[in-house]
Amino acid sequence: MSRIVTVGAAQLGPIALNEPRKDVVQRLIALLEQGAAHGCDLVVFPELALTTFFPRWYFEQQEQVDAFFERSMPGPDTQALFDAARRLKVGFYLGYAELTEEKGRTRRFNTSILVDQNAEIVSKYRKIHLPGHAEHEPWRRFQHLEKRYFETGNLGFGVCRAFGGIVGMAICNDRRWPETYRVMGLQGVEMILIGYNTPVHNPPAPEHDNLSHFHNELVMQAGAYQNGTWVVGVGKAGREEGVDQIGNSIIVAPSGEIVSACSTLSDELSIARCDLDLTVSYKSSVFNFSKHREPHAYGMIVERKGAIISV
Ligand code: CDT
């Protein structure tokens, strides 16, 4: 018997700085409706999908930053998306900026949620690998201030049972780190959902700019294959406030092959029928972890943060 989940990678074109949340939500609903019309069970949106990618600016006032954050989910602007999901019977992954009060302290995270076909939130993830910098660096053509505006996620890389399988989440830069996939792989993950905002140009290493698509595909294809899991990667695309975003949204099978891909730099839905049972032959042969892994030799991965050269 096969376990098919029909998934839509819902890429977004640029979101303008002054674009109202309600308008963005209408774009998301249009993609959800397309997904429903094509039989999708689940639609995956990018990281920080409700606003422009605001960490590209240095803001002096905290209230300017906080204007990009959601204080409840669903909230006044996002309720319509949840209503649409319930009406259409399509679940979704959504990335957004989360502002929450915990033990009297205001905390800010780069967050994603997984919402089921009854519009219930079934899982939450808070981004762990925050790229960029914490201080204003005016030499850059644009900033990447995630380390200033967000705290490191405190929920780990969990998985949950949803859509008939075992599903995990990650956000953007997480996808470049093998640990992200392996921690979920060790919990039997069958599908990993990843939203991103990746500029073509990386100010500290412009020599890599022409490889941005290659690296995007490389990391997700490797993560899928090495853990015998589906990976759905969905980006922001096109020129957003003068910055080119790669888009390059893809659905990767447990073989490591790309089975579906967006081809524009706009709002676009790319769909694949993902058989979760395709994970089995990888998880039970070459990547049968309990048979072939050698954890006694991997201690340094958790004991050491940076490389230390001692030879
Ligand atoms: N949003 C985010 O995490 N973006 C980073 C940019 C790093 S530049 C190579 C990313 O890993 O895509």
Which residues are catalytically annotated?
47, 127, 172
Q: Is 172 in the pocket of ligand 1 (CB under 6 A)?
A: yes
Asked if 74 and 139 count as a contact pair (C-beta separation under 8 A), the reply is: no
Q: Is 202 in the pocket of ligand 1 (CB under 6 A)?
A: yes
Res 150: pLDDT: 98
To test the pocket of ligand 1, the residue of 127, 133, 144 to mutate (highest count of ligand atoms within 8 Å of its CB) is 144
- Quote the ligand 1 centre to 106 CA distance (angstroms): 25
Q: Report which ligand 1 atom has the smallest distance to the Cα of 216.
A: 12
Res 124: pLDDT: 98
pLDDT tens for each residue of 25-44: 999 999 999 999 999 999 99
Domains of the chain: 4-303 (3.60.110.10)
Q: Is 143 in the pocket of ligand 1 (CB under 6 A)?
A: no
Q: Report which ligand 1 atom has the smallest distance to the Cα of 176.
A: 11
Place of tokens 């230390």: 308
What is the residue with the minimal CA distance to atom 3 of ligand 1? 173
Q: Is 196 in the pocket of ligand 1 (CB under 6 A)?
A: yes
- Quote the ligand 1 centre to 38 CA distance (angstroms): 31
* Whole-Å CA distances, 164 to 5, 34, 107, 138, 160: 8, 22, 33, 48, 10
Q: Which of 156, 166, 162, 91 has its CA nearest to residue 125?
A: 156
Q: Is 271 in the pocket of ligand 1 (CB under 6 A)?
A: no
Torsion sign (Cα): 171, 188, 113, 235: positive
Res 1: pLDDT: 57
Helix (H, G, I), strand (E, B) or coil at 5: strand
What is the residue with the minimal CA distance to atom 1 of ligand 1? 197
Q: Which residues of the chain have pLDDT under 50?
A: none
C-alpha 251/C-alpha 271 separation (Å) is 8
| Sheet bearing 42-44, strands edge to edge | 121-126, 105-115, 91-102, 42-44, 4-11, 268-275
Burial of 167 (0-12, 13-18, 19+ CB in 10 A): buried
Work out the number of other CB atoms within 10 angstroms of the CB of residue 189.
27
Helix (H, G, I), strand (E, B) or coil at 138: coil
C-alpha 4/C-alpha 96 separation (Å) is 28
- Quote the ligand 1 centre to 127 CA distance (angstroms): 12
